[in-house]
Amino acid sequence: MKKIYVIGHRNPDTDSICSALAYANLKNQISDGEFEYEPCRAGNVNGETKFVLEHFGVKAPEYVNDMRPRVTDININRIEGVEESTSIKEAGDRMRQIKQVSLPVLHDRELKGIVTISDVAYADMDVFDNEILAKSKTPYRNLISVLNGEMLVGNEEGVIESGKLSVSAASIETMSEFIKPGDVVILANRSDVQKAVIEIGAQCIIACMGTNIDQDVLDFAKEKGCRVIATSYDTFIASRLICQAIPVSYAMTPESELDTFSINDFVDDVKEEMTKKRFRYFPVLDADNKFVGLVSRRRLLEIDKKRLILVDHNEVSQAVEGLEECEIQEIIDHHRIGSLETMSPVYFRNQPVGCTATIVTQMYREQGVEITKPIAGLLCSAILSDTLMFRSPTCTPVDEQIARELAQIADIEIEDYAKQMFRAGSDLKGKAADEIFYQDYKKFTANDVTFGVGQITSLDQSELDEIKEKILPYMESVRKEQGLNMVFFMLTNILEETTYLAMTGEESKEVIESAFQTETDGQIAVLPGVMSRKKQLIPNVLNVIQE
């Protein structure tokens, strides 16, 4: 079934992940079956979101760091392979049967090589080498198979490691000039010739034109340790067929000389490598280096773009990597309309509410789909998180009303549950600066100015002060690494309804002082009443930059 991925922004918060989970569930409920909707995330699960998912017994969405098409997105030819000991005749028959020109040679799904129809043809033409059975270490089983024969004396196991292949056409008197001990000899159904060849010391005789071999010949062969294979074919056909008994390991291109690709390789990189090589088919391996299938240049051209539904964002700078190579189907968001462009019209729902989960809940009701307890818990948690339990200026009466209705379905008491959730999110003891910084971080652009804004919320001011000491020196490294003009980090105290704004960048102080008509203390500005990045900080900063 074709997939459509539902995904939030990078460094996802609770709304981003919970809305992706809930909206994917809604789409699967109302889908006509053509598509499967799969929730994803473009970053790590923070402490607050982890608490929510565990509380309602919901698995976190699959992590995806880049949506560019990979080899696994191609229609891989998942072909069954052959063993190294398989005869080239069997391999050729298999290729003609399944209409393929290449077969993988495998052992316990480990790739040993590739054999092609050309390899089979060239090996079969090697009729002038009468030592080819020994050189290729041909199994006796292969001889029996290609000759449609029967082993009358000796063991079917084992391989031919020495001697040459001969056809007995000389007289008994001169036979020793052509046949040597250890040879494999094709001969007719004359018992005197058979005994003479066994006497010379042949390791195996192939008796043609019938299986009625005299018992004294069989007894003599057993005494001399000579294998006897009987076939109904005549000597001409037997001599033509026997070279097809050599194993594919002798004819194949070994793995060391092949170009293989991983299922996780990007298609663009694979295309570039394919243009440099003469092979028609290329093996694909999984993460454990086990064979998956074959891929061709033609199949690369048939690849479909990945289909995405974006939730809780609509700006390229916040979207998962590789977005430009995907086909956007829908956007569900509650932020400002950003710079994202689409190739064709899409369903775009953007409402001035405090949380994407509020919009998703409305869509459940519009579609008449029941909201289960786990889904209600996810949606309610997202609203409580984004609105800071209704304290944020982004919160609307619709957000609060819907959250309280969802809380009843989810069987939670809002005040107690929200405090547990916020404490889980602000429990950052022992975490490195980068883990804290990227919990909820976004980038923005206005004119030629690019800046980043992160935010952390807590019920404990002492914890925020401790975080501040870690974050301040780290912010400048982020600014330089990402080539930003400014970086801000909001340390928001939910109980005090105040944000302590850390900043770095040459013009950051001037921008904040102008935006909020306040004074900064070094790299910190105290902003009473400022709780929302979206509705309070970003608009003010953008106004100053644009002026």
Q: How far apart are alpha carbons 502 and 454 in whole angstroms? A: 10
- Taking residues 511-519, report their average pLDDT: 93
Q: What confidence score (pLDDT) does residue 126 get?
A: 60
Per-residue pLDDT tens digits for 77-102? 899 999 999 999 999 999 999 998 99
**pLDDT at res. 467:** 86
Residues 384-437: tens digit of each pLDDT:
999 999 988 889 999 999 999 999 999 999 999 998 998 888 777 678 888 889
Cα separation, 73 vs 76, whole angstroms = 8
Residue ranges and CATH numbers for the domains of the chain are: 2-69+305-425 (3.90.1640.10), 88-250 (3.40.1390.20), 433-546 (3.10.310.20)
pLDDT above 90 for 375: yes
Residue 451 clears pLDDT 70, i.e. is over it: yes
123-127, 191-195, 266-270, 358-362: range with highest mean pLDDT:
358-362
Predicted pLDDT of residue 486: 95
**DSSP states along 3-18:** EEEEEEEES--HHHHH
pLDDT of residue 127: 56
Please give the pLDDT value at position 405: 97
Q: What's the average model confidence in pLDDT over 329-348? A: 89
Residue 245 has pLDDT above 60, yes or no: yes
200 against 127, higher pLDDT: 200
**DSSP 3-state assignment of 404?**
helix
Report, as an integer, the average pLDDT of 156-172: 86
pLDDT band at 466 (very low <50, low <70, confident <90, very high): confident
Query: What average pLDDT does the segment 106-126 reach?
Result: 87
pLDDT for residue 104 = 95
Contact 195, 218 (CB under 8 A): no
Q: What is the mean pLDDT of residues 162-175?
A: 82
pLDDT for position 195: 92
CA dist., res. 318 & res. 10, Å (int) = 6
Question: Who contacts 400 (Cβ-Cβ below 8 Å, separation ≥6)?
Answer: 387, 390
Poorest-confidence range of 18-27, 236-245, 354-363, 430-439?
A: 430-439
Q: Which range has highest mean pLDDT (73-87, 189-203, 270-284, 344-358)?
A: 344-358
Terminal alpha carbon distance of the chain: 51
Residue 128: per-residue pLDDT? 65
Cα–Cα distance measured from residue 455 to residue 458, given in angstroms and rounded to the nearest whole number: 10
Q: Coil, helix or strand for 465?
A: helix
The answer on pLDDT for 505 being more than 90 is yes
d(CA 38, CA 36): 6
pTM summary value: 0.67
Q: Coil, helix or strand for 45?
A: coil
Please tell me the predicted confidence (pLDDT) of residue 205. 93
Worst-scoring range by mean pLDDT, 13-22, 301-310, 386-395, 473-482?
Answer: 301-310
Residue 535: what pLDDT?
85
Of the pLDDT bands very low, low, confident and very high (cuts 50, 70, 90), residue 534 is: confident
What would the two tokens of residue 94 be?
């298999």
pLDDT at 303 over 80: no
Give the mean pLDDT of 39-61: 95
Per-residue H/E/C for 46-107: CHHHHHHHHHCCCCCCEECCECCCEHHHCCCECCCCECCCCEHHHHHHHHHHHCCCEEEEEE
Rounded CA-CA distance 79/493 in Å is 59
Name the E strands within 170-212. Answer: 184-187, 204-207
Q: Which residue has the tokens 């430009």?
A: 324
Q: In one letter, which amino acid is 143?
A: L
Phi then psi dihedrals of residue 3, to 5 deg: -110, 145
pLDDT at residue 411, as a whole number: 96
pLDDT on residue 198? 93
Helix axes 215-224, 191-200, angle to 10 degrees: 10
Residue 360 pLDDT exceeds 90: yes
Question: How far, in Å, CA of 129 to CA of 131, rounded?
Answer: 5
